[in-house]
Structure 1
Amino acid sequence: MKAKEAKLLNFLQTAPQLVIPIYQRLYSWGLRECEQLWEDIIRCGQDEDNHGHFIGSVVYIEHGLYSVTSQSPLLIIDGQQRITTASLLIAALSEAVGEEEFIEGFNQAQLRGFYLTNPLLSGEKRYKLILSQTDNETLRAIIDGKAQPECYSLRVQENFEFFQDKLKDKTILETVCKGLSKLIVVDISLQRDNDNPQLIFESMNSTGKKLSQADLIRNYILMGLENEHQTTLYNDHWRKMELLFGQEAYSEQFDSFMRHYLTVKTGDIPKIDDVYEAFKQYFRLSRQSVESAVADIHQYAIYYCAITLGAEKNKTLKETFQNIRELRMDVAYPLILELYNDYQNDVLQLDEFIEALRLMESYVFRRAVCAIPTNSMNKTFAGLSKNFNKQRYLESFKAALMLLPSYRRFPNDEEFKREIQIRDLYNFRSRSYWLKKFENHNHKEPTLIDSATIEHIMPQCDNNADKVPQVWRQALGDEWQRVWETWRNTLGNLTLTGYNSEYSNKSFAEKRDIEKGFKYSHYILNNELVELDNWNESTILARAKRMAERASNIWPSAHLPIEVINAYKPQNTTNAVYGFDDHPYLAKECVNTLFEAFRKAVLALDPCVTEVFLKLYIAYKAEVNFVDVVPQAKRLRLSLNIPFAEINDPQGLCKDVTSLGRWGNGDVEVGFENLEDLPHVMALVTQAFERQMDN
């Protein structure tokens, strides 16, 4: 590696040609960066005492030795943004100065002949700077003074026009020339055989826009290859992926795609900012060729775009993926990608794939309705396939879902039907999703509901009880306010309409019978309203019950015979069963009183909490133990599974047992011997429980 300070214009003049390798991202500087460069140039152009302004480094790879008869182009690996922007400014400046020479060396012919072109050469070699793809065609049109091609780079053209506009003020041209002549870069040349361009590239603390994780991965894969090999892999795979995503989706979603891809491949979920490092580790350990790695990423990118961007060709899959997107099931994408790959490779049949997707959809929706914490779902989906037997794919998939424990559970029909009747579904995160599913389930002529709005049959009244009309107070009875507050946003009171403003707060009979009322509605959800004479708590609850039954079919649970489920259960290595008799101190009245009060309070924390009697202690767990109880002669000794440094203990009840041997799990010990201390003890236990749920 050779590094030296150089004037930017000298660097551009002496370089035979600067080539942006095909793997580099497209030109991405916006008006903000152009404005900053402009201000720097004006500032140092006006300051006679300023003899140089540093704008960053230019790092490039020299292909070979220079000779009198042959000079190779320089491949830019860092600095393309500032070099391209400077070239756009020089092109605009050459137009503005014309034949006039404001300072020596700054007339049109010299600006173009020194810094933009090699005027005595022709073809590709005529241009000083070679960009990639549409960027290059746009820059050439600017340099040659020709009309832009039909498909041109908006960013390149916009920035050129920015400088054109700035240079309309002829009074600043001399200042711009002076400032431009003072720009300094660090000229860093690398030898491919002696230097590692990727390591140097990663370590550069360059100004400008931060590279995305996808940019870094692409550069890592392609940078070390010979130019011809780079071009082949880029054109065969990476460019096709960029086109597959589209420019906007590629810049916004490709990092997320690579995160999901790595989760499929490794079973671990990298943080979004660590995707590049995770990929490097995966690539090194996989020992696959660059060709197979890029081809595999390309294949999964096709799956990802089918799932997330509507590119799926199969009609049924396309509709299912649309539902998944509306439900915002991003956490499930790694598993969906794995299933899609197995479907494409005939390991999983199409009908099985569709059923698996719909069960995943049901799992996510049921849990949301039942208000089960979602913070574990990404890990649940990422690790679920470890339990699959792909010789019995769908069966093992269902078993894995059905055997999920505690707060990862698949809510059963009883829990789901109970909760969907009482849940606030108006403020549910995906209300258009569930309304569409209700309206179109098993319908061969589905209705578009994009123009419809959600209608409160018993009016919402801006969530203000004072605005409830008298006609509705009478219809709802003496307890109208309780009924209104309890049920207005729930399943039984909600439907679809295209005439929300016309219905307003009208009585039920008016909403039913007016022109375009429920009686004339095209929506299936309104059919049963036509026969009703009034609307009150009993009719709301009756409708909710019917709809809950229907919901259990729209979002089905997984079902397998009990003997099949048992075959998939982990085998218990011990037949020992423990109970109260194994803890003799529980027979003492004072200890038993403490224990019964404690267990009631712990089990009430959440439905997912389970109690397990073991030989030496009694464990309470969500998925793993968060508190263990050891009955003693006059008290209960509790072990809380939480680091001592994290516990908030205003009463001073906790003891640090991090380095001590104790029955039970955890670093915090609490003695419980007085019933009046139960609220303080439970405040500590709750911290251990919530820590596990959060993790």
Structure 2
Amino acid sequence: MTKTLTAHEQAISKIFSDDYIFTIPGYQRPYSWKVEQASELVEDLLGFMRSSIGELSELPPYFLGSIVLVKAETQPDATVVDGQQRLTTLTLLLSAIRAHAENGMARAGISKMIYDQGDIILNTENHYRLTLRSKDEAFFQDYVQHEGGVEKLVSLNSELSDSQNRLRDNAKFYMKYLSKIGIGEQLRLAQFIATRCYLVAVSTPDLDSAFRIFNVLNSRGLDLSATDILKAEITGKISEKIRPIYTQMWEELEEDLGRDEFNDLFGHIRTVYRKIKPQETLLKEFRVHVKFAKAEQFIDEILKPMAVAFQEIGDSSYTSQQNAEKVNASLTWINKVEFRDWMPPTLTYFVRHRNDFDLILRFVSDMEILVYSMLIRRVGVNDRIDRFSKLTTSIEAGEDLWASKSPLALSPVEQYSTYEALSGPIYDTHSARAVSLILVRLDSLLSGGGAIYSYNTISVEHILPQTPMAKSQWLEWIPEAEKRRALVHRLGNLALLTRRKNSAARNFDFAKKKTAYFTKNGISPFVLTTQVLAAAAWTEEVILARQDVLLSKFEQHYRLQDRKSPSDAMLAAIGG
């Protein structure tokens, strides 16, 4: 009976021998370990080695984990499904030790673990223990595996790819780190790695079996993302002839977005297809619900268009002959909201209509209204996901998004509830972050949309203090405590500052508060605060008049003018 899986605990000297010829396939992500991981490896090795005294042969073994290979049991050729980071970094560390070695035999012994030199007499070529992806293969041979390579690498000033930059950074760290320990300990470290450090090599003769093992190991805590596994699975289904093209396309999309954003994109793609709150892991739900006939189709027709749209939306970088500035202005404000449930339907719409600039502008303008209404009404995550999932379904079905009952449109009840929340004690009912964003958006509307908010700190301040001091001017202007409580947390009594709150300044009299706290050199960058500076007193009448002015801006932008008073039907709908 043919074995489908073998697992052997092997010393590194055996791993880096003629028993294995490791190749990193093109579908693997580039080398990604940074100095943090590289330093942790060598410090753990040295710490373990130093903790034991005596001959190397007497030291307990040090376990480096497992690697997963596609490999026939009787053949040395091994495709690395999991383990490239450790194999690559161990090779780099051994090369750095070799660079410091003064003993020729030591250098030759380390080189033997890295590659076999070709023989001009026997007409044989160099035989490398580890071959990286094609993009980095020659670079790794020249600057890591060959003698003298690491010395050239650390002084290299050329512009490099991300993976090559990480190799250079880690090489610099290792060369500097090793220079601080003695030659004897460097040699002992190489001997310890070769003879007392072990990997479990898990081998299976076919790719599907290797992926299954890879997935099991991943579920138990290896530092792998769902997108790494999906990349391996999806590109692994593409014919070898065109696989490098699609692998490169995948990696370029990931590099353009950045690893974290790329992972987020897959979460949004899952939601586009699943349309409910996640119930299982991203990996499991993606496999079950994201349907495509061929792997190439997924990359061409789903991943690439979604990635392009995701970058335009997230960076507010939409380009078109018309409306781009207005579209990006709305996207900028939507992106400031903490929740991201709005992204799946927006991605869906952009993929279908991005070249119709009038429709895109209309969509993002209404999406901003919907998103900020949800923020203002404090709509919970489950209700948001349900609403945006219905919107995604409506977009996919080609329905009229501007019909009165469209999921994109605010219902009369929602319009009234938005107005009521804005009219009330908003500072008391919303989080500080939400209030700050709502006020900054209001300030931008007052400024005509031209203001830029790039301050390190923006805080919300009450003009009439929450607890004015006895016998203060504030109590003369509004002596009734009940009236003060009714006014203090409303929009009409709030301003914005570019500094942290100062508890000592909150109870300043109005004149001093304006000059010493609300301004810097007599001016404020916020229209909201400039309004306050123009007032001579801060009475109930002033606050209410300002409340009306500010509300009118929101009413106009969010189309709430006809929803100030609830109809009987609306009252019934909201339980009034």
1:13-28 correspondence runs (5 A) = 13-15=17-19, 17-28=21-32
Name 2:66's counterpart in structure 1: 57
Name 1:653's counterpart in structure 2: none
Name 1:368's counterpart in structure 2: 375
Name 2:266's counterpart in structure 1: 258
Per-residue deviation, 1:330: 0.1
SS at 1:56's partner residue?
strand
Per-residue deviation, 1:108: 0.6
In structure 2, relative to structure 1, the CA distance for the partners of 1:135 and 1:374 (3 Å cut) is: farther
**Structure 2 residue identity aligned to 1:215:** D
Structure 2 runs not aligned, ≥5 long: 564-570
Answer whether contact 2:468 2:507 (CA < 8 A) is retained: no
SS at 1:109's partner residue?
helix
Answer whether contact 1:3 1:186 (CA < 8 A) is retained: yes
1:30-49 correspondence runs (5 A) = 30=37, 31-43=39-51, 46=54, 48-49=57-58
Name 2:547's counterpart in structure 1: 544
- Measure, in 2, the Cα distance between the counterparts of 1:256 and 1:367: 22
Answer whether contact 2:375 2:434 (CA < 8 A) is retained: no
1:156 aligns with 2:167: yes
Name 2:99's counterpart in structure 1: 95
In structure 2, relative to structure 1, the CA distance for the partners of 1:11 and 1:142 (3 Å cut) is: closer
Answer whether contact 2:23 2:79 (CA < 8 A) is retained: yes
- Measure, in 1, the Cα distance between the counterparts of 2:400 and 2:370: 18
Per-residue deviation, 1:228: 4.3
Name 2:360's counterpart in structure 1: 353
The Cα offsets for residues 58-89 of structure 1, whole Å up to 9 and x where unpaired, read as 322249986xxxx8x53211221221222122
**Structure 1 residue identity aligned to 2:315:** L
Structure 1 runs not aligned, ≥5 long: 102-106, 561-603, 611-695
Name 2:567's counterpart in structure 1: none
- Measure, in 2, the Cα distance between the counterparts of 1:300 and 1:330: 16
Name 2:568's counterpart in structure 1: none
**Structure 1 residue identity aligned to 2:463:** M
Answer whether contact 2:445 2:553 (CA < 8 A) is retained: no
In structure 2, relative to structure 1, the CA distance for the partners of 1:510 and 1:23 (3 Å cut) is: same
Answer whether contact 1:45 1:175 (CA < 8 A) is retained: no
Per-residue deviation, 1:276: 1.1
In structure 2, relative to structure 1, the CA distance for the partners of 1:38 and 1:82 (3 Å cut) is: farther
- Measure, in 1, the Cα distance between the counterparts of 2:7 and 2:460: 69
Name 2:307's counterpart in structure 1: 301
Per-residue deviation, 1:540: 1.2
2:256 to 236, 244, 253: 244
- Measure, in 2, the Cα distance between the counterparts of 1:64 and 1:129: 18
Per-residue deviation, 1:124: 9.8
1:83-482 correspondence runs (5 A) = 83-99=87-103, 107-112=106-111, 114-120=112-118, 127-132=128-133, 133=135, 137=139, 140-143=142-145, 144=149, 145-146=151-152, 147-148=155-156, 149-151=158-160, 153-164=164-175, 165-166=177-178, 168-170=180-182, 171-180=184-193, 181-192=195-206, 196-204=209-217, 209-225=222-238, 227-235=240-248, 237-246=249-258, 250=259, 252-271=260-279, 274-282=281-289, 286-295=291-300, 296-313=302-319, 314-344=324-354, 349-387=356-394, 393-396=400-403, 399-401=406-408, 411-413=414-416, 416-417=419-420, 419-424=422-427, 427-441=431-445, 446-451=450-455, 453-454=458-459, 456=461, 458=463, 460=465, 465-466=468-469, 470-477=472-479, 479=480, 482=482
Answer whether contact 1:476 1:537 (CA < 8 A) is retained: yes
Bigger-Rg structure (1/2): 1
Answer whether contact 1:310 1:322 (CA < 8 A) is retained: yes
Answer whether contact 2:366 2:409 (CA < 8 A) is retained: no
SS at 1:330's partner residue?
coil
Answer whether contact 1:495 1:525 (CA < 8 A) is retained: yes
Per-residue deviation, 1:281: 1.8
Name 1:661's counterpart in structure 2: none
In structure 2, relative to structure 1, the CA distance for the partners of 1:204 and 1:374 (3 Å cut) is: closer
TM-score, reference length from structure 1? 0.66
Per-residue deviation, 1:471: 2.8
SS at 2:341's partner residue?
helix
Answer whether contact 2:472 2:509 (CA < 8 A) is retained: no
Give the paired residue count: 534
Answer whether contact 1:62 1:191 (CA < 8 A) is retained: yes
Name the % identity: 18
SS at 1:14's partner residue?
coil
TM-score, reference length from structure 2? 0.79
The Cα offsets for residues 125-161 of structure 1, whole Å up to 9 and x where unpaired, read as 5543233456973674244131334226454344444
**Structure 1 residue identity aligned to 2:181:** D
